[in-house]
Amino acid sequence: MRILGLMSGTSLDGIDLALCDIDDHGYSVVAAETVPYLAEWRQRLSTLEHATAYEYALANVELGHHMGKTISAFLRRNNFTAEAVASHGHTIFHQPHLGLTTQIGDGDAIAAETGLPVVSNFRTLDVALGGQGAPLVPIGDELLFGQYDACLNLGGIANISYRADGKRVAFDICPCNMALNRLAAMLGYPYDKGGVNARGGQVHTCLLHELDALEYYVASGPKSLGKEWFVEQFWPVVKAFIGVVPSLSKVRDALATVSAHIAMQIGRVLEAQNIGTLLVTGGGAWNSFLIEQIGEYRPSTAITVPDALTVNYKEAIIFALLGYLRITGKVNTLASVTGAKCDSTGGVLSGIIGG
């Protein structure tokens, strides 16, 4: 099938679109593009968890129409057609311990705009089955990138997947670009390109120890992180270090310390699992300073940063795969990863296959 995978991540860079040909033997990318969010949408999505129920519901529908129009324009611009859309949507709430995860971008609205069948809401069934609903990408890691010991995604949150005792295991390690981008914004940049500002800062041991002491890091898996945890537990520690009126040097030191924290937490996982070969994707793969730091904490791991298409669009590609698995009635969510009571075929289907 030719399926368009759509991903909107916590870093709010934009909508990732990957048009893929997929069958039971593999995939090929026909075309891919990131459509940046306008400032209005970035502001709206970054604060939506504090909105009224009406504002939330309206944003869900309007984002769905926006995504649908974005997809249609992408297909027209490239003179391509698709058989279906597989949309992750944009996460607003993720509290699986309460049985709650929500990704907005209404699938029916996308279907109405594109005239295509749409698979959306991939996470909710797994959470209803007692799982974390995340990460979902590991089944794609297993099927598409199984030649590596582990796959690490450096997005808004750093997450990893690998095989252990004959099963795929995965979990969120720590915040990544969610923290680094917020600090870079204080310096007037959308992100810290190449980690240049972090490289110019000083690591503060007290801040590093305080971050490392957060309770999440000693919890056993399966486990996952959401924006709520970042806002309530991680960011207040960093904010207290920066102060009410942050100086440029303080922000650079915070960047250096948070970068070291990320690298150390990842290095500990690589060490504990004796990972020999590692595939790194996501926007953080272009942060050369962070990649260097991970290598320093775990020098025996061979780190591979692949081609730009795979780095930038791996998650959108894998959601196209998850959509293919949902449409063809195959398992697309692994209980060994999420902790659910059983494997499942997640995703709500809007539209009629072949209609």
pLDDT band at 353 (very low <50, low <70, confident <90, very high): low
- Average the pLDDT over 285-297 and give the result: 97
Q: What is the pLDDT of residue 11?
A: 76
196 alpha-carbon distance from chain centroid: 23
How far apart, in whole angstroms, are the C-alpha atoms of residue 333 and residue 168? 11
- pLDDT higher than 70, residue 107: yes
Pairing relation of β-strands 84-95 and 2-8?
parallel
**Beta carbons of 194 and 288 less than 8 angstroms apart:** yes
Instruction: Provide the H-helix boundaries in the chain.
Output: 39-46, 53-78, 107-114, 124-128, 138-144, 177-186, 196-199, 205-212, 227-229, 235-242, 248-272, 288-297, 308-327, 335-338
CB 99 within 8 A of CB 127: yes
Q: Residue 167: which pLDDT band, with cuts at 50, 70 and 90?
A: very high
pLDDT in tens, 109-134: 999 999 999 999 999 999 999 999 98
pLDDT band at 245 (very low <50, low <70, confident <90, very high): confident
Tell me which of 3.20.20.140, 3.30.420.40, 3.40.50.20, 3.90.79.10 is the CATH number of domain 2-133+316-350: 3.30.420.40
pLDDT of residue 10: 77
β-sheet bridge partners, residue 26: 23
Tokens 């949507």 belong to which residue?
89
Could you tell me the CA-to-CA distances from 129 to 73, 100, 309, 325, 331 in Å, in that order? Answer: 37, 11, 34, 19, 14
Q: Where in the chain is the domain with CATH 3.30.420.40?
A: 2-133+316-350, 139-309
Query: What's the farthest any 2 CA atoms get from each other in the chain?
Result: 60
Q: Looking at the domain 139-309, which fold is it?
A: Nucleotidyltransferase; domain 5 (3.30.420)
The pLDDT confidence band at residue 12, using thresholds 50, 70 and 90, is confident
Average the pLDDT over 178-184 and give the result: 96
Q: Report the pLDDT averaged over residues 181-205.
A: 96
pLDDT-derived band at 354 (thresholds 50, 70, 90) equals low
- Mean pLDDT (the chain, rounded): 95
% of the chain with per-residue pLDDT over 90: 93
Contact 305, 280 (CB under 8 A): yes
